[in-house]
Amino acid sequence: MNQTGYTKEVMKHFQKPHNYGRLKKYNGLGKVGNIVCGDVLWLYLNVENKNGKEVIKDVSYETYGCVAAISTSSAISDLAKGKTIENALKINKEQVIKVLGDLPPIKIHCSLLAIDALSEAIYDYLSMGKKPVPGDLREKHQKIERAKQVIEERYKKWTEKEKQK
Amino acid sequence: MRKKIYLDYAAATPVDPRVMKVMKPYFSEKFGNTMSLHSFGQEGREVLEKSREAVAGSIKARPKEIIFTSSATESNNLALKGVAFANQEKGRHIIISPIEHPCVLESANWLAKQGFKITQLPVDKFGLVNPADVEKAVKKDTILVSVIHASNEIGTIEPIEEIGQICRKNRVYFHTDAAQSFGKIPIDVNKMNVDLLTGSSHKIYGPKGAALLFIKEGVKIEPILHGGAHEFKLRGGTVNLPAVVGFSEAIKIRQKEMNGEIKRLTHLRDKLIENILKKISGSHLNGHPKKRLPNNVNIRFDFIEGESLVLQLDGYGFMTTTGSACSSTDLKPSHILLAIGLRPQEAHGSLRMTLGKWTKEKDIDELLKVLPAAVERLRKLSPFKS
């Protein structure tokens, strides 16, 4: 019944996740996933301007989900920390998977979720700060939003029950 | 290495050493084919029939009403498909519960593709079938009702006797999948009013590779494995004698030990349930509190996901299981948890712990020590907090 095939690195990140929790001070927040599907990731960023460059000084997250969701959250936080937002946006799923050794094929989507959370947090940082948002980031944001709506529509039955509660 | 504590007895049980001992000669000394005429074959046949008697006696059936199969999955496939094809002149309507094991559900789905009509009964929040709903669902062309005896996942024990009465009254065959209850709680096929019943060996400290299907005398059924004349021409294939011998020894032992184990495990079960609900906020019992297998505990925890919890507990040495979507190969939560009205997000946070012969009170005490912290840690990681 259980997914097996997690690498040692995955289990290490799962047992001792890096950078988890909610940042006391943050200026970017990306919320992705859906509780009905079983994984939700909220990623917090504290971006600072350093010599004219916007650098991710601090990053943290809160994750509801399986071992893969938690370990990819931890991995992406390591990857993003200290990077300029420009470089952080270049992080791809191969890099996340590399940090973790490997992921079971059925769990690859968790690494995409982590990348989405990061780009949503950067989008949030830029748009809240009324800074110019690159075209492809805006497009990605719109795509994620649309996907969210599709899922909410699909699981209306469950989410409406949630609201009634 | 940390001590391992196995709490997944509903999935598989270790073979009892006494059972292994009885099986051993049947691998290379008494290896004859039960269909052979020579003395090795005859000896095998005698042992096979003795095993049949033992297994039949344990459920108050007659030996000729028992056929041995390879697994509960095979028995359930035979019960559904065999009855469906033998009785399609009468009708093509079959009734099942929504909390059946996948081997019943998928057999029913397959029969639906062959033109049979399948009705799924409703269940209440405990997973209980209301016999009145069976009465309502039975039609003129209904040929079979199949309701699981006790849920493999949430442990709820169904009102089989009452459902059986309704089936008798309406002259509809009644099958129950007793894979989880056989050898764990008393079974009497006459009292239960069943026409077909599935039981399994490897859930009761017997070997894998053996199971039974009780087929009441007179029930019209077709084989699904065609071949030789084994098993009253209902199941071709050389009989797996070592496994059958082990199966019958396992049930003999269970009959002696059952009453004591029911008492012991019920105490441990209730202790575990009570303490989890008391110690961990946002925890809820899945399944019926009393009409429940003595060895089944299934709890859901708010705000966390089951696969994470299972693997964290595994790190502490406890082997458990979950109905979460993330732990399944199709990323769908357990159909049983959804059938009892849980939302997917609730099903994700479910943890099943099933106890057995080698579960000690101190194992439960140790689990109760680490479980609250394990849940707490995952909640700390989660954006959803109470």
Q: Which tokens sit at A141?
A: 């944001």
Where are chain B's structural domains?
5-12+257-381, 17-253
* Number of Cβ atoms within 10 Å of the Cβ of B226: 10
Distance of residue B98 Cα from the nearest chain A Cα, in angstroms: 19
Each of the 386 residues of chain B gets a pLDDT tens digit; together they read 568 999 999 999 999 999 999 999 999 999 999 999 999 999 999 999 999 999 999 999 999 999 999 999 999 999 999 999 999 999 999 999 999 999 999 999 999 999 999 999 999 999 999 999 999 999 999 999 999 999 999 999 999 999 999 999 999 999 999 999 999 999 999 999 999 999 999 999 999 999 999 999 999 999 999 999 899 999 999 999 999 999 999 999 999 999 999 999 999 999 999 999 999 999 999 999 999 999 999 999 999 999 999 999 999 999 999 988 777 777 788 999 999 999 888 899 999 999 999 999 999 999 999 999 999 999 999 998 75
CB-based contact A39 B326, cutoff 8 Å: yes
CATH number of the structural domain B17-253: 3.40.640.10
> What pLDDT was estimated at residue B345?
85
Structure tokens belonging to residue B303: 């705000």
Are the folds of B5-12+257-381 and B17-253 the same?
no
How many CB atoms lie under 10 A from the CB of residue A161? 13
- Helical ranges in chain B per DSSP H: 17-23, 25-28, 39-58, 72-77, 83-86, 102-113, 131-137, 160-169, 230-233, 241-279, 306-315, 335-339, 344-347, 361-381
Phi, psi of A152 (to 5 degrees): -60, -40
Is B103 tagged catalytic? no
Give the model's pLDDT for residue A101: 95
Structure tokens at A43: 């990623």
Residues of A in contact with B386 (CB under 8 A): none
Q: Which pLDDT does position A160 carry in this prediction?
A: 62
Whether A66 sits among the annotated catalytic residues: the reply is no
Using a 10 angstrom Cβ sphere, with 0-12 exposed, 13-18 middle and 19 or more buried, the burial of residue B147 is buried
d(CA A150, CA B232): 55
Angle, CA of A77, A79 and A84, to the nearest 5°: 100
Task: Determine phi and psi for A88, rounding to 5 degrees.
Answer: -60, -35
Q: How far, in whole angstroms, is CA B78 from its chain's centroid?
A: 16
Strands of A28-34's sheet in order across: A28-34, A39-50, A53-64
Tell me the chain A residues in contact with residue B345 when contact means C-beta distances shorter than 8 Å: 35-36, 38, 158, 162
Q: For chain A, 165 residues long, give each residue's pLDDT as a single digit of tens.
A: 334 689 999 999 999 999 999 999 999 999 999 888 889 999 999 999 988 899 999 999 999 999 999 999 999 999 999 999 999 999 999 999 999 999 998 898 888 999 999 999 999 999 999 999 999 999 999 999 998 888 888 877 766 655 554
CA distance A161 to chain B (A): 8
Which of A2, A14, A120 to probe by mutation at the B interface, max B CB count within 10 Å?
A: A2
Give SS3 for B212.
strand
- Reference A64, options A12, A17, A101; nearest CA is A17
Which fold is adopted by the domain B5-12+257-381?
A: Aspartate Aminotransferase, domain 1 (3.90.1150)
Architecture label for domain A8-164: Alpha-Beta Complex (3.90)
Task: List chain A residues with CB under 8 Å of B354.
Answer: none
